[in-house]
Chain A
Amino acid sequence: TMLGVMTTDASVATNIWREMVRKSVSRSFNQITVDGDTSTNDTVIALASGASGSTKISSLESSDAQQLQACLDAVMQGLAKSIAWDGEGATCLIEITVSGASNEAEAAKIARSVASSSLAAVYGRDPNWGRIACAVGYAGIHFNINDLRVSLGDILLMNNGQPLPFDRYAASTYLKEAGQIHGTVNIDISVGNGHGSSKAWGCDLSYDYVKINAEYTT
């Protein structure tokens, strides 16, 4: 289960605040995954006191609303990433960035599909581009396979839908070093020339995850 409580002293009309929170949740908490299990209790409550004395925000299009939205997105993303970073048994955070999709929602769906794959390969420090391409392929979003580009950190693994020769040792070392410092593995994917981009976060699947959950009874 994930729980969140957000607070701000900005002044916002209720319907605007509820739309801003919904949007931020879709760009943060709804884009993380550890084990693919959607809890019975997931909740985010967000309260705006108005105690800063700021002008009341009553339109999503105003620049004030856009500034507050960007800030709320950042706080929720910072917290969402810390949840994925702290996934049960995780040794590293995996950040998937998808670009070139038709729109943000399609990019988000692809990114989350890759994050949701068990991708045990990351725990095995295996630069398994095939599994990444496979998770992109079953996301349910149409794209031209010849546009698929996949990189792991700075190492290009696929381009124009073709697998590339790459330094396997360097790629595996990249994964190993991230695991040693509980750092971040970046997987960057492009699926075309569209303007849609998004991110998702997950973590590697380890033996400890299975152990922790084998002992956690209802």
Chain B
Amino acid sequence: SSADAGVVSVKSMPAAPILLPEGPWKQIPGGVTAAKGFKAAGIYGGLRAKGEKPDLALVTCDVDATAAGAFTTNLVAAAPVLYCRHILDISETGRAVLINAGQANAATGDAGYQDTVECSNAVAQLLHVRPESVLIESTGVIGQRIKKEALLSSLPKLVASLTSATEGADSAAVAITTTDLVSKSIAVETEVGATVVRVGGMAKGSGMIHPNMA
């Protein structure tokens, strides 16, 4: 495990067996950092109710990336969902996704929305990008606001931990988990036209799972 207090080795969580459909692609290491231009990090920011598993993740792109999103159609949508839907309404690109685990920031009203805006603006400042290019995802206990002070004070270390190496993707995939028993991260390489292209991703989820996203 790392000597740096609070940065728990990502070995603390096994990786899910990825059951990748067959096709003209090959699986490669790297998850969200496999594609060119992306970096990621996952650290312990003191957000989880208990334990010191990483709980704060950041995925960044070196350039303005074309951005798309799909969001729950649950009417009691969490603040980060409302915020991201607004961002993708006004902007076609994005530069970063901040993800916190521990508190869902759902059913938290105007104060919860304000927390989301503040966290996004703080990341934008540290990355020297426009505030509307930072998207946010949250997961955890519904009804609880984000531990904002702990989150904001962890951001400099999170940004400093960003790397395009596989470790960045692996630690981010652990940091977004809640009741998951395994982390979920995958990347593939294929040819689009005459160019080698990579597609990667990470996900979390184990309970309250019946997505109806649009």
A contact residues vs B (CB 8 Å cutoff): 1-14, 17-18, 20-22, 25, 29-30, 32-55, 57, 63-64, 67-68, 70-88, 93, 116, 184, 209, 212-213, 216-218
Q: Which residue of B lies closest to A74 (CB)?
A: B21
Asked whether B68 lies within 8 Å of A21 as measured between CB atoms, the reply is yes
**Residue B192 is within 8 A (CB to CB) of chain A in the complex:** yes
Asked whether B197 lies within 8 Å of A44 as measured between CB atoms, the reply is no
Q: List 13 A-B contacts (CB under 8 A).
A: A1-B139, A7-B35, A10-B192, A20-B68, A21-B68, A38-B212, A41-B105, A43-B81, A64-B193, A68-B192, A86-B180, A88-B207, A116-B210
Known: A30-B212, A74-B21, A84-B209. A41 touches B203 (CB 8 A): no
Asked whether B97 lies within 8 Å of A64 as measured between CB atoms, the reply is no
Name the one of B24, B74, B92, B198 contacting A9, with C-beta atoms under 8 angstroms: B198
Q: Kindly identify, within residues 140 to 188 of chain B, every residue whose CB is under 8 Å from any CB belonging to chain A.
A: 140-144, 172, 176, 178-182, 184, 186-188
Shortest CB–CB separation between residue A182 and chain B, in angstroms? 8
Q: Which residues of B contact A85 (CB under 8 A)?
A: 16-17, 19
Q: Which residues of B contact A73 (CB under 8 A)?
A: 21
Name the one of A72, A83, A88 contacting B203, with C-beta atoms under 8 angstroms: A83
Asked whether A41 lies within 8 Å of B212 as measured between CB atoms, the reply is no
Shortest CB–CB separation between residue A64 and chain B, in angstroms? 5
Q: Which residues of A contact B206 (CB under 8 A)?
A: 34, 83, 86-88
Name the one of A21, A34, A49, A54 contacting B193, with C-beta atoms under 8 angstroms: A54
Q: Which residues of A contact B92 (CB under 8 A)?
A: 14
**Residue B41 is within 8 A (CB to CB) of chain A in the complex:** no
Most buried by A among B61, B66, B69, B176: B66
Q: Which residue of B lies closest to A112 (CB)?
A: B210
Asked whether A3 lies within 8 Å of B19 as measured between CB atoms, the reply is no
Q: Which residues of A contact B97 (CB under 8 A)?
A: 5, 45, 47
Asked whether A9 lies within 8 Å of B211 as measured between CB atoms, the reply is no
Taken together as a complex, chains A and B put the C-alpha atoms of A6 and B106 apart, in Å, by 23
Taken together as a complex, chains A and B put the C-alpha atoms of A9 and B63 apart, in Å, by 11
Taken together as a complex, chains A and B put the C-alpha atoms of A47 and B35 apart, in Å, by 10
**Residue B43 is within 8 A (CB to CB) of chain A in the complex:** no
Known: A17-B68, A21-B70. A82 touches B182 (CB 8 A): yes
Most buried by A among B37, B70, B172, B182: B70
Shortest CB–CB separation between residue A115 and chain B, in angstroms? 9
Q: Which residues of A contact B90 (CB under 8 A)?
A: none
Q: Kindly identify, within residues 2 to 46 of chain B, every residue whose CB is under 8 Å from any CB belonging to chain A.
A: 16-21, 23-25, 32-38
